[in-house]
Structure 1
């Protein structure tokens, strides 16, 4: 008798999940990204994937953006000797999520003569729902001396449209 009751409960749970697929299906759309420091040697560069995470109740708005990738600051130990000389600067990639014109999340990663892997999420909670774009910029900052620092052009990635 217990097995029959358990089977009935299990079948009801499966039928409920199938009847309300939006609750179980949150969509993620992956988009490649890239940005660099804008100098002639491309001392600092980042590339990877933005995973736009759409909500579970409808395709909009974006609930969060999973960011995975790498940041390289040249010269790395694996670079050929003639690539770029060590200029005494480190590279920082800055990732900023916006809902309209309001900044809702920010993360940054830094590398100095190395390649650094990263994985984090911008937003992903109730206060940041509605991410409409992510802006990525790579800046170079002196390691030992005082600034001046400089940055490459900011690159803007808009939330992909949902068909």
Structure 2
């Protein structure tokens, strides 16, 4: 038993020594959801946040991969429970390092579904994202605002042991 452990430990050590730099960054996936806050849920965004960590110690934050969709109702093929209201939906994703905003992305949909994939805070100057705030707002298509927004939803970086 001890011989097998010794061989396994040596094989691992040789892999690290012979092929440095092949370690891969860790990623922790978390679901997200935010809506426009109205009774019909005209605007809804959902998907996943992929928190990417490096391999150095302590683990540096490399960015957050965001993948999902923004839905604005009514949908052409959907039920008629949400009638046309002349508004479009806007989902905003804001990445923070402490209290400092480090990145922001916005996606827009009008009576449809818009899929998206992007990275927040993925540049080399980023100090590390520790939270992402997601909010869906609705604005009139033709006239000037008033616009309205659902509650902002905050997602914290998962703890790394």
TM range (shorter): 0.7 to 0.9
Q: Distance in 2 between matches of 1:15 and 1:162?
A: 24
CA RMSD of aligned residues (A): 1.9
Superposed displacement of residue 23, structure 1: 5.3
Name the residue aligned to 2:142: 144
Equivalence map 1:121-132=2 (5 Å): 121-132=119-130
So what's the TM-score if we normalise by structure 2? 0.86
Q: Distance in 1 between matches of 2:32 and 2:15?
A: 35
Name the residue aligned to 1:106: 104
Contact 2:121 2:128 in 1 (8 A): no
Residue ranges of structure 1 left out of the alignment (5+ in a row): 1-13
Equivalence map 1:46-57=2 (5 Å): 46-57=45-56
Structure 1 moving runs of 4+ over 3 Å: 14-17, 19-23
Q: Distance in 2 between matches of 1:95 and 1:33?
A: 11
Equivalence map 1:8-157=2 (5 Å): 18-19=16-17, 24-58=23-57, 60-81=59-80, 83-157=81-155
Residues 1:34 and 1:23: Cα distance change in structure 2 (over 3 Å): same
Residue ranges of structure 2 left out of the alignment (5+ in a row): 1-11
Structure that is richer in helix per residue = 1
Deviations for 1:41-97, whole angstroms, at most 9, x for unmatched residues?
00000000000000231353321000000100000112112x201100000000000
- Number of positions where the alignment pairs a residue of Structure 1 with one of Structure 2: 149
Superposed displacement of residue 129, structure 1: 3.1
Q: Distance in 2 between matches of 1:95 and 1:21?
A: 36
Contact 1:137 1:155 in 2 (8 A): yes
Q: Distance in 1 between matches of 2:78 and 2:20?
A: 49
Contact 2:74 2:82 in 1 (8 A): yes
Q: Distance in 2 between matches of 1:21 and 1:45?
A: 44
Q: Distance in 2 between matches of 1:77 and 1:60?
A: 46
Q: Distance in 2 between matches of 1:133 and 1:94?
A: 14
Residues 1:120 and 1:39: Cα distance change in structure 2 (over 3 Å): same
